[in-house]
């Protein structure tokens, strides 16, 4: 029987966000807590802080200047951890003990820097190469992200491991409640920021409504940054609970996810698990993640997005069946073992 492994998971960033890497970190931490050979310790978690306030800005600066470069690894040592895992590309900037594993979801900084906020762009330009240099292993959540790490950032292939994100078990079960909006609707899930391509999605939905389609666009997710004109028929819910998100997936005509770039893309898989047909961008890692279980479109064409949504609505039955089979491949119980194997390499 393998020796039980004590792993410190950095959860400091959960104070500032609930999407993307935060969902990955929560899901991974929960799966590790259930793993029979792992003793998972969470570091730095605390109350959620609303973005934009002076207190929030000062707290973010403290994390970036003190916690990640110095205090996080010290806390991992004090916890007796054999491995310190930072599930984002904010992490220690120099080698040390315990060994460091870093998950890099994407290299949007290098591929599409204009779609990032100015602060994140400036911070990561100064730190990202040092972070991956300090890491003993770098986990990429897709082959696409791994190729970018090697090709754009120069990370040696022998240092990179591919281990996908997982889908929470809740999305495979029947939804606990009715959706918070009345149908029919097409759903988008994610932070409202330029990379998510919402302007073209809104144009596509306006085109479909002119053609007589009854569906409205419903957007669930954090406010993000960057102004987007969404049209009068769009319903913007903001951040929602996992229970409401589950119900929204189950009640949607389809999920529309036309991102310009993704290193993984969790909402399409969550939607598939909940029985929601998916239309996704044919960019980034989304074709790799979705396989044949989604309608894939050119994200730079609002006409292609509109036709993709129409097709997903028409082929809903077949897409639901293929989607559920695809999502099972990414259950946390299945994908967690790949991360644990990385820990065993460096411990």
- What SS3 class is residue 206? helix
**Mean of all residue pLDDT scores within the chain:** 91
Spatial distance between the Cα atoms of 24 and 18, rounded to a whole number of angstroms:
10
- Domains with residue ranges and CATH for the chain: 5-166+332-346 (3.40.50.2000), 170-328 (3.40.50.2000)
% the chain with pLDDT above 90: 72
Asked if residues 336 and 31 have their Cβ atoms less than 8 Å apart, the reply is yes
Query: How far, in Å, are 3, 21, 63, 250 from residue 84 at the CA level?
Result: 17, 17, 16, 37
pLDDT at 15 over 80: no
Calculate mean pLDDT across residues 316-332: 96
Calculate mean pLDDT across residues 317-330: 97
Q: What is the pLDDT of residue 231?
A: 66
Spatial distance between the Cα atoms of 259 and 331, rounded to a whole number of angstroms:
23
- What SS3 class is residue 20? coil
Confidence of residue 192 (pLDDT cuts 50, 70, 90): confident
Asked if residues 7 and 81 have their Cβ atoms less than 8 Å apart, the reply is yes
Asked if residues 187 and 258 have their Cβ atoms less than 8 Å apart, the reply is no
Q: What is the pLDDT of residue 229?
A: 63
Q: What is the pLDDT of residue 107?
A: 86
Encode pLDDT of 129-165 as tens digits.
999 999 999 999 999 999 999 999 999 999 999 999 9
Predicted TM-score of the model (pTM):
0.91
Spatial distance between the Cα atoms of 316 and 85, rounded to a whole number of angstroms:
39
Calculate mean pLDDT across residues 115-138: 88
Asked if residues 260 and 283 have their Cβ atoms less than 8 Å apart, the reply is yes
pLDDT at 1 over 60: no
pLDDT at 121 over 90: no
Confidence of residue 228 (pLDDT cuts 50, 70, 90): low
Lowest mean pLDDT among 50-54, 120-124, 194-198: 50-54
Calculate mean pLDDT across residues 262-273: 95
């Amino acid at each position: 029987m393998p020796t039980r492994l004590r792993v410190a998971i950095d959860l400091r960033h959960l104070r500032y966000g609930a999407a993307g890497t935060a969902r990955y970190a929560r899901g991974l931490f929960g799966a590790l807590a259930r793993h029979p050979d792992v003793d998972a310790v969470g570091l730095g978690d605390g109350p959620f802080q609303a973005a934009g306030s002076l207190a929030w800005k000062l707290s973010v600066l403290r994390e970036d200047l003190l916690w990640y470069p110095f205090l996080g690894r010290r806390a991992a040592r004090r916890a007796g951890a054999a491995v310190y895992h930072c599930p984002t590309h904010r992490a220690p900037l120099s080698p040390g003990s315990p060994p460091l594993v870093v998950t890099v979801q994407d290299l949007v900084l290098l591929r599409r820097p204009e779609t990032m906020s100015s602060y994140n762009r400036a911070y990561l330009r100064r730190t990202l190469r040092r972070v991956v240099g300090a890491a003993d292993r770098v986990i990429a959540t897709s082959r696409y992200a791994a190729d970018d790490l090697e090709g754009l950032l120069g990370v040696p292939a022998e240092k990179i491991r591919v281990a996908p994100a997982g889908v929470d078990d809740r999305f495979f079960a029947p939804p606990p409640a009715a959706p918070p909006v009345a149908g029919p609707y097409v759903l988008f899930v994610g932070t409202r920021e330029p990379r998510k391509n919402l302007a073209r999605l809104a144009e596509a939905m306006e085109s479909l409504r002119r053609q007589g389609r009854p569906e409205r666009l419903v957007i669930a997710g954090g406010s993000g940054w960057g102004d987007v004109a969404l049209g009068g028929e769009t319903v913007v819910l903001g951040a929602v609970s996992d229970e409401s998100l589950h119900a929204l997936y189950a009640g949607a005509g389809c999920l529309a996810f036309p991102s310009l770039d993704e290193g993984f893309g969790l909402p399409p898989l969550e939607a598939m698990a909940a029985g929601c047909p998916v239309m996704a961008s044919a960019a980034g890692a989304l074709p790799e993640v979705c396989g044949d279980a989604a309608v894939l479109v050119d994200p730079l064409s609002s006409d292609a997005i509109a036709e993709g949504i129409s097709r997903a609505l028409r082929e809903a039955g077949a897409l639901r069946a293929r989607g559920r089979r695809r999502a099972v491949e990414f259950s946390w119980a299945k994908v967690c073992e790949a991360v644990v194997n990385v820990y065993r390499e460096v411990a």
